[in-house]
Amino acid sequence: MPLNIAILVSGRGSNLKAILEAIREKQLDASVKVVISNKPDVAALKIAADYGVEAKVIPSAGLQRTEHEKLVYDSLSKLSIDYLVLAGYMRIITPFLLSKFRDERGFIRIVNIHPSLLPAFPGANAYEEAFNYGVKVSGITIHLVDEEVDRGPILAQEAFERLPEDTLESFTKRGLAIEHRLYPKVLQQLAEQKVPVYAQAGETP
């Protein structure tokens, strides 16, 4: 049985594309039931359409976080979603949506990708902040989601070096290449249920 996922996006959609491509190439046994963007007219919506996946805009502008999440959940509740996948979704998840994707054992079913070695550089501009800080090594983190921004049990991390000749652009490009490889791989591990139980339960090892 493929993993049923819904993907939340806010912008460019390059991780969305990597996931859809991995499914097409049969490297990821998942079915994307819906893509939801909180912003209209973003490139991610065109990518979803190109791959024949249903996509919806549920604008967050002007709404309270929970109000917006209730609308999102209304679109998800009948789809038997196994995991909610955040792919460049630049919103904090509130306890409302968390409660809908946390089962009675405490297993969290919301996954996020973040372009730093968390807990370093959470937030919206991690590549830039890590680069400007002068890190020698940065990386990509994939984690389950809790109430805080870019926090929760870590499923995978992959480091990369900042090279002396790097610009922010080349540094970001190297990181993104890792993101696009790592996210489908970790989702496949979830599909195969090869995820450490402590991580699913939201506990520290």
* Per-residue x/- track, 55-94, ligand GAR (CB under 6 A): --------------------------------xx------
Which residue, 82 or 150, is less far from ligand GAR as judged by CB? 150
Catalytic residue positions, numbered = 114
> Which residue of this chain has its Cβ atom nearest to ligand GAR in the complex?
88
Decide if residue 15 touches ligand GAR (CB under 6 A): yes
Which residue, 70 or 91, is less far from ligand GAR as judged by CB? 91
Instruction: Return the ∠ at Cα 18 (arms to 16 and 20), rounded to 5°.
Output: 70
Q: At what angle do helices 43-50 and 14-24 cross, to 10 degrees?
A: 10
Decide if residue 179 touches ligand GAR (CB under 6 A): yes
For the bound state, the minimum distance from the C-beta of residue 195 to ligand GAR, rounded and expressed in Å, comes to 19
Q: Which listed range, 12-20, 31-39, 48-56, 153-161, lies at the site for ligand GAR (CB under 6 A)?
A: 12-20
Which residue, 85 or 191, is less far from ligand GAR as judged by CB? 85
Which residue, 115 or 190, is less far from ligand GAR as judged by CB? 115
For the bound state, the minimum distance from the C-beta of residue 77 to ligand GAR, rounded and expressed in Å, comes to 25
Residue 186, C-beta contacts closer than 8 angstroms, at least 6 positions apart? 111, 142, 155, 156
For the bound state, the minimum distance from the C-beta of residue 104 to ligand GAR, rounded and expressed in Å, comes to 28
Which residue, 124 or 163, is less far from ligand GAR as judged by CB? 124
Decide if residue 13 touches ligand GAR (CB under 6 A): yes
DSSP one-letter string for the chain: -PEEEEEEE-S--HHHHHHHHHHHTTSS-EEEEEEEESSTT-HHHHHHHHTT--EEE---TTS-HHHHHHHHHHHHTTS--SEEEESS--SPPPHHHHHHTB-TT--B-EEEEESSSTTSS-SS-HHHHHHHHT-SEEEEEEEE--SSTT-S-EEEEEEEEPPTT--HHHHHHHHHHHHHHHHHHHHHHHHTT-S-HHHHTT---
Decide if residue 126 touches ligand GAR (CB under 6 A): yes
Residues in the site for ligand GAR, rule: CB under 6 A?
11-15, 87-88, 113-115, 124, 126, 150, 179
